[in-house]
Amino acid sequence: MSPSHRATSRSRGALVAGAAATAAAAVTLTVVLWPDGSGSGPQNGSASSRTDASPSPSRSYPLSTTPRTVPAVREHTPARGPGWKPGKDSTVVAADHQLADEAQLLAKELKISYRGETAARAGDVELALGTPGKGTAESYTLKTADDRVTISGPDEAGVFYGTRTLKQSLAADGTVPEGVIRDAPDRPQRGFNLDIARKYYTPAWIEDRLREMADLKLNQFGLHFSDDQAFRIESESHPEIVSPEHLTKAEVRDILKLAASLHITVVAEIDSPGHLGAVLKAHPDLQLRNTQGTPRQGAIDISKPQAAEIVDDLLREYAELFPGQWFHIGADEYQALTVSDPASSYPQLAVAAREKYGNGATVQDLTEGWLNDRAAVVREAEKIPKAWNDGFFSGGTVTADKGIEVEYWTGKEIGARPPQDYLAEGRKVVNLNDEFLYYVLGEPNNFVYPTGERIYKQWTPLVLRGTEPVPERYSKQILGGRFAVWGDFPNAQTQAQVADGIRMPLNAVSQKLWDPRKPELSWAQFKKLADEVDASN
């Protein structure tokens, strides 16, 4: 997860040399069922333009060009016509009441009126839901003809993304081009991960990032709020662990409300059995100690029943607060496993392992069992558990449950294995490659701030570790990815500097998660477009 304990140096050689191979090997072609059932998406480039255009309304107009957006649309069928831009009588209407919020937001952004659930007329934008289940999730079709725009999709999220395309096209070129856009994401999980435990961020700053994410069609916000340095959300079950500077539950609910309106799922994380320093500060009797009585930073003693009780209290409390379908249970960097002989250093863990799992069980098995037990608590709350990849071990008596999503961040920590190992076991994986997607404040342990250009040119969802992609046959198991900010040296940058530093990386990640193929635009063109689109916000 976070690189706070990492002391290994990293070779950064051959990055550029690997870029061409990465780009070639990591291409993913996805068959997309569009909302209108019209078949598959484009086969080459960021967007395709069909040539079977019909004049609308007159052949005196040249064929339209593909709208310029971030991420780029996957397919555009051009047509002849003036396109659309809001006029003095333009309004937004919703064909379905479920889309009223999306329609009102768009009307506010375009500075035109929302006319409710009524028939569209010339100059209008109409939002409509298609047949439920017909079409790929989050897909949409945007049709521009006869001085009106219709955005339809199989779900509200897809229609919302269509409104983002409309908004960006107007910002970039002043018009929405004539024709039909058919668009859908390549990966279902596309997001941003924020460590507020080491560095506090204000609710306003977080909400600004959510709005930024929404315009980039990112749909998952990971919130790491518990670590050794602080516990940053109000707690009713254990108020003694909460740090002075924290988010109240009322503030969190406001954040969650905004996120839901923008079709972003907030994924809370309570890391254990490591990274629990803030909790252990209030409960020192639960801290892991070796035979000499020396405590291990952030590590809870998992041989004690009270350790599971307090962590499960917190999991249940925050699973109720956060309504999303996932919950992150951490599992990385447990310090008991970093010593040469865990059983000798921590005999209480070895005894507990044998008592629970049999004579051949080890401290590793007890740790893996802890992961499974926490995952069971999360499942009771009807959540899908996530955990960092270095919490999944091999060769032991206890195996991690296959239903836990693997969040792959590193191949260097204790227990970490090459990504193919997890994929070969049939596990579902989310990409948080620390080579490309880790923005670590202060740049410790050979980390450097990732650039949007490098992500844009070299990274795809298949590049899980280092710079080399995994084989294409594993593509469907890779659910997506998130760009992550970690606060190892919290004062290294201000909130404003962080926002500025991650802007282009988020743009690049958005593009490569929506469509991982080689983009049509050069980096200079892409950056210019991102600047033009951002200037309108």
Q: What is the rounded distance in angstroms from the CA atom of residue 33 to the CA atom of residue 182?
A: 10
Q: What is the rounded distance in angstroms from the CA atom of residue 439 to the CA atom of residue 434?
A: 8
**Domain residue limits, the chain:** 73-181, 187-533
Q: Is the pLDDT of residue 145 over 80?
A: yes
CA dihedral 226, 227, 230, 236 (to 10 degrees): 30
Q: Residues near 249 by Cβ (< 8 Å), separated by ≥ 6?
A: 233, 234, 236, 321
DSSP conformation class of 295: E
**Range name among 25-34, 361-370, 483-492, 502-511 with the lowest pLDDT average:** 25-34
Catalytic-labelled residue, pool 75, 212, 333, 435: 333
The 10s digit of each residue's pLDDT in 182-203 is 999 999 999 999 999 999 999 9
> How large a percentage of the chain has pLDDT more than 90?
86
Nearest to 197 by CA among 264, 256, 279, 295: 279
What does DSSP say about strands 91-94 and 478-486: parallel, antiparallel, or unpaired? unpaired
Residue 158 near residue 134, CB atoms below 8 Å: no
* Average of per-residue pLDDT values in the chain: 91
Query: What is residue 364's three-state secondary structure?
Result: helix
pLDDT greater at residue 450 or residue 52: 450
Nearest to 132 by CA among 38, 261, 35: 35
Q: What is the pTM of this model?
A: 0.91
Q: What is the rounded distance in angstroms from the CA atom of residue 342 to the CA atom of residue 353?
A: 12
Q: At which residue do the structure tokens 């004690």 appear?
A: 304
Q: What angle do CA 260, 204, 192 make, to 5 degrees?
A: 55
Q: Is the pLDDT of residue 248 over 70?
A: yes
Nearest to 532 by CA among 69, 172, 213, 211: 172
Q: Residues near 516 by Cβ (< 8 Å), separated by ≥ 6?
A: 26, 27, 28, 186, 187, 460, 461, 462
Q: Residues near 265 by Cβ (< 8 Å), separated by ≥ 6?
A: 219, 220, 221, 259, 324, 325, 326
| Stretch (H or E) spanning 116 | strand 113-116
Residue 134 near residue 154, CB atoms below 8 Å: yes
Question: What is the 3 state secondary structure string of 164-232?
Answer: HHHHHHHHHHCCECCEEEEECCCCCEEEEEEECCCCCCCHHHHHHHHHHHHHCCCCEEEEECECCCCEC
Q: Is the pLDDT of residue 264 over 80?
A: yes
> How large a percentage of the chain has pLDDT more than 70?
88
The 10s digit of each residue's pLDDT in 99-130 is 999 999 999 999 999 999 999 999 999 999 99
Tokens at residue 55, please?
Answer: 């004049």
Q: What is the rounded distance in angstroms from the CA atom of residue 384 to the CA atom of residue 223?
A: 15
How much is the average pLDDT of 65-79? Answer: 98
The 10s digit of each residue's pLDDT in 37-53 is 444 444 444 565 544 44
CATH 3.30.420.40 for domain 73-181: no
The answer to whether residue 333 is catalytic is yes
Question: What is the 3 state secondary structure string of 445-495?
Answer: CCCCCCCHHHHHHHCCCCCCECCECCCHHHHHHEEEEEEEEECCCHHHCCH
Q: Establish whether the linkage from the previous residue to 71 is cis, with ω within 30° of 0.
A: yes
Which one of 3.20.20.80, 3.30.70.1450, 1.10.10.1100, 3.30.565.10 gives the CATH number of domain 187-533? 3.20.20.80
Query: What is residue 13's three-state secondary structure?
Result: coil
Q: What is the rounded distance in angstroms from the CA atom of residue 81 to the CA atom of residue 126?
A: 19
